[in-house]
Amino acid sequence: MSNLNSSEIDYDLFAPEFLFNSYPLYKLIRSKDPVYYYKKGGFWYLTRYKDVEASYQDTRLSSDRSSLFVQQLEGVDLNTIQNFRFLMGNMMVEKDPPHHTQLRKISLPGFLPRALENWRSIIQETTDNLLDIPNGINALLNHPHELRRLKENPELIDSAIEEMIRFDAAATHSLRVAKENLTIGGKEISAGSVVALGIATANHDPEKFENPEVFNITRSPNEHLGFGKGIHFCLGSVLARMELKICFSTLLKRMPNLMFDPNYTPVVKRNSLAFKGFESLRVKF
**Does residue 102 form part of some domain?**
yes
**Does residue 3 form part of some domain?**
no
pLDDT value, residue 147: 96
Higher-pLDDT residue of 202, 283: 202
Structural domain span for residue 80: 16-284
Distances in Å between the alpha carbon of 137 and those of 132, 142, 150, 199, 252? Answer: 8, 9, 12, 20, 10
**Does residue 103 form part of some domain?**
yes
Note whether 197 and 56 are within 8 A (CB): yes
pLDDT value, residue 132: 47
Q: Which residues of 237-261 are buried (b: 16+ CB within 10 A; e: fewer)?
A: eebebbbbbbbbbebbeeeeebebe
Among 119, 125, 107, 132, CA closest to 242: 119
pLDDT value, residue 235: 81
3-state secondary structure of 183: strand
What phi, psi does 269 have (nearest 5°)?
Answer: -85, 150
What phi, psi does 267 have (nearest 5°)?
Answer: -135, 130
How many structural domains is the chain composed of? 1
On the question of pLDDT at 128 being above 80, the answer is no
**Does residue 7 form part of some domain?**
no
Q: Any idea what DSSP says for residue 191?
A: T
The model's confidence at residue 1, banded by pLDDT at 50, 70 and 90, is very low
Cα separation, 134 vs 278, in Å, equals: 7
pLDDT value, residue 6: 42
pLDDT, tens only, 52-97 = 999 999 999 998 766 665 555 555 565 655 665 666 666 666 667 7
pLDDT value, residue 135: 86
Inter-axis angle of helices 144-152 and 237-254, to 10 degrees? 90
Higher-pLDDT residue of 254, 14: 254
Cα separation, 34 vs 212, in Å, equals: 17
**Does residue 9 form part of some domain?**
no
**Does residue 2 form part of some domain?**
no
Q: Any idea what DSSP says for residue 3?
A: S
pLDDT, tens only, 3-48 = 334 445 678 887 877 877 889 999 999 999 999 999 988 899 999 9
**Does residue 66 form part of some domain?**
yes
pLDDT value, residue 25: 93
**Does residue 1 form part of some domain?**
no
Which CATH number goes with the domain that contains 89? 1.10.630.10
Among 167, 230, 227, 228, CA closest to 200: 167
Higher-pLDDT residue of 83, 232: 232
pLDDT, tens only, 99-117 = 777 777 777 777 777 777 7
Higher-pLDDT residue of 186, 264: 186
Note whether 30 and 201 are within 8 A (CB): yes
Q: Quick one: average pLDDT of 250-257?
A: 92
Contacts of 58 (CB under 8 A, 6+ apart): 182
Q: What is the CA radius of gyration of the chain?
A: 20
pLDDT, tens only, 158-193 = 999 999 999 998 889 999 999 999 999 999 999 989
